[in-house]
Structure 1
Amino acid sequence: MTVILLAILAMVAVGAAGFALVPSALGGGRAEQRRKALQVNTRVNRLENDAARNRDQRRKELQRSLKQQSDSLNSKKRVTLPQLLFQAGMTIKPAAFIRNSIIFGAVVTVVLIVVQVPIYLAPVFGVASGYLLPRMWVGRKRKKYQDKFLDELPNAVEAIVRGVKTGLPLNDSIRVVAKDAKEPVRSEFGRVLDQQAFGMTMTEAVGVLLDRVPLPEVNFFVVVITVQQQAGGNLSEALGNLAKVLRNRKKMKQKIKAMSSEAKASAGIIGSLPFVVGILVSITSPTYLAPLFFTTLGNIWLGIGVVMLAAGVFVMSRMVKFDY
């Protein structure tokens, strides 16, 4: 009986040892499974940490580039005449523009002398007209050029996103925009391709676009392209987010324009009242306002009134102008 019990215990011991050791030797033990699971988790955590580190690095580079570009835009508050003509999309040379301004000022002076404005005031108004009015006209063309560019820029960015998602290189996607987009986006992106043809990198070429259209929205586009060229990343996702931001900014701009339209109309009516009243009074009583133009005291008060009106118009224009 004792021998039988010892044999049974020996068999149990051998079976237990085999159950414990054989799966481990075959690589299927729980310890081995836990070790492999731990290695997999460690590898996954390492990949996630590397991805998070890369995202943080790209985010910091994006913030740094955006800050640098914004500082450069803010530092260029004073725009020179060649830059003004270049940003307005005009091909006239600065020398020709100055010549035409001088001619315009001389014509205004002659017209004022013919209508019997005092001889000492006519040159003053002529010089002011020759200097201010052409620059105001160019500034207005520059603003219209930038507005047209911003209206089409979200569509151009979305076209680039679609091209990149289909597998096209960035240059080919920009070439599609330069071929099919509306003006002035078409010509500006064509200028980027021309700069690349002359040997510039993509980063340098889109920098020329920012010089041509110095706007925050264009700055965003340039920063995204620059960071992607330097650090890599998902360009389609970044440009897709940029397109959403541009459309939201466009909606906000239109909303602000609608909300401030009433104030702008009131400012226009108030600013035009002195001229309208003066014309109506001159029609009904031609000699009533004559002392303002033909006497020294009247000229002084007329000048004071013009200065006060200009100050009021300036204040009202600043009140209805919003940054977005």
Structure 2
Amino acid sequence: MDISTLTIGVTLLACVTGVVGLRVYSNGKAQKQELVDRLTYTGQPPAYGRHRRFGGLDQRLKKTGLGQRIDRKIAVTGMDVTAGEYFVYVIAGVLGTYLVVSYLFAPFFGLLAAAIALWAANGFLTMQRNKRTEAFINQLPELTRVLANATQAGLALRTAIGMAAEELESPAREEFGRVANQLAVGHTLEDALGDLNQRLPSRELTVLITTLILSNRAGGTIVSSLRNLTQTLEERKETRREVTTLLAQVRVTAIAIPLLGIGFLLLINGMRAGALDDMAAATPGKIAIVLSAALYALGFFLIQRLSRVRV
């Protein structure tokens, strides 16, 4: 047999074997990720159809303290994203912000913008958690109504919680589904509801959990307690809605003020090209830039703090 023919045959066989090996490896990795998603199921509907990116990075990141903190924060936001994906997106966003701002203004401004982008990424998770908590609070009147109807029909409290998880919409469906799953595997009612209160802390939920726990311990008129609580939560829901409407203009002002500062920088740079580069090159200019950014951040924080009204 000709040596060239043998070489071609061996090369083709190696290519076919490599393709088959890659296919087997890809299928095995996908099955492993699906198993990990099932084992780490946190009450959110598992999206098996979506390809999870950066799986290896996600596994390595979750072994670190930073990855575990990111994973805990993501778990309470309801977002369909892994810790590895979030980490990569944040790094890409920070680098992109630095490059864009450095091109528009000056490299020193890019460093400040990158630091702000990193802070905003953490603030985004907090905002999503607050948004989910707010949506859950708005569902509490309906939740207490379902629990009251179920207990009035003679069902046990554990059964009523499972029924509420089936009838309500997200996020109450996922959160009480997790509570029902914890009760099914042997957790006490106090532990399961206490874990819920840690994920979505609010005074309304604390009152509901206290009512359920005390009624479960001592018995008594849980139906009438839930009926009264439903009416109270309805009134608080309307009050919170009115307060949110009244404070909408103040919150818009908190966002508009930093945007005005960015507009002034663009105006200065447009009046004389290179003015921001000269400012960032001098030490007094750097001090002025940092001080201005700190004052804008302080103003944003104070407006947010003063506009926060507890109902």
TM-score, normalised relative to structure 1: 0.65
Aligned match of 1:172 = 159
CA offsets 1:191-241 (integer angstroms, 9 cap, x no match): 111001111122222222212211111111111111111111111111112
1:201 partnered with 2:188:
yes
Check the 8 A contact 2:106/2:277 in 1, yes or no.
no
Alpha-carbon distance, 1:158 to partner: 0.5
Alpha-carbon distance, 1:141 to partner: 0.9
Aligned match of 2:243 = 256
Aligned partner of 1:149 among 136, 155, 167: 136
Aligned partner of 1:227 among 214, 219, 222: 214
Distance 1:204 1:297 in 2: 56
Distance 1:265 1:137 in 2: 17
Distance 2:135 2:245 in 1: 18
Identity percentage of aligned residues: 22
Distance 1:105 1:265 in 2: 24
Alpha-carbon distance, 1:163 to partner: 1.5
Aligned partner of 1:86 among 59, 72, 75: 75
Check the 8 A contact 1:188/1:209 in 2, yes or no.
yes
Aligned match of 1:160 = 147
Closer, same or farther: CA 98–262 of 1 in aligned 2, 3 Å:
closer
Q: Any stretches of 5+ residues in structure 2 without a counterpart?
A: 1-68
Aligned match of 2:199 = 212
Alpha-carbon distance, 1:165 to partner: 1.4
Alpha-carbon distance, 1:268 to partner: 4.1
Amino acid at match of 2:163: V
Distance 1:259 1:104 in 2: 34
Larger-Rg structure: 1
CA offsets 1:51-104 (integer angstroms, 9 cap, x no match): xxxxxxxxxxxxxxxxxxxxxxxxxxxxx5454333222465556645554454
After superposing the two structures, state which structure 1 stretch, 269-278 or 283-292, moved more. 283-292
Distance 1:287 1:260 in 2: 40
Closer, same or farther: CA 270–99 of 1 in aligned 2, 3 Å:
closer
Alpha-carbon distance, 1:190 to partner: 1.0
Alpha-carbon distance, 1:250 to partner: 1.3
TM-score, normalised relative to structure 2: 0.67
CA offsets 1:110-164 (integer angstroms, 9 cap, x no match): 555555734x6655653x2463121011111111111111111210110111111
Distance 1:312 1:208 in 2: 35
Check the 8 A contact 1:102/1:130 in 2, yes or no.
no
1:131 partnered with 2:118:
yes
Per the alignment, in what secondary structure is the counterpart of residue 298 of structure 1? helix
Check the 8 A contact 1:203/1:225 in 2, yes or no.
no
Amino acid at match of 1:87: V
Check the 8 A contact 2:102/2:109 in 1, yes or no.
no
1:243 partnered with 2:230:
yes
Aligned match of 1:117 = 106
After superposing the two structures, state which structure 1 stretch, 284-293 or 266-275, moved more. 284-293
Per the alignment, in what secondary structure is the counterpart of residue 183 of structure 2? helix
Check the 8 A contact 1:108/1:129 in 2, yes or no.
no
Q: Any stretches of 5+ residues in structure 1 without a counterpart?
A: 1-79
Check the 8 A contact 2:257/2:296 in 1, yes or no.
no
Aligned match of 2:6 = none
Alpha-carbon distance, 1:243 to partner: 1.4
Closer, same or farther: CA 116–150 of 1 in aligned 2, 3 Å:
closer
Alpha-carbon distance, 1:244 to partner: 1.8
Distance 2:128 2:165 in 1: 22
Check the 8 A contact 1:260/1:320 in 2, yes or no.
yes
Per the alignment, in what secondary structure is the counterpart of residue 210 of structure 2? helix
Check the 8 A contact 1:192/1:206 in 2, yes or no.
yes
Amino acid at match of 2:77: A
Aligned match of 2:39 = none
- CA RMSD of superposed structures (Å): 3.0
Distance 2:268 2:109 in 1: 23
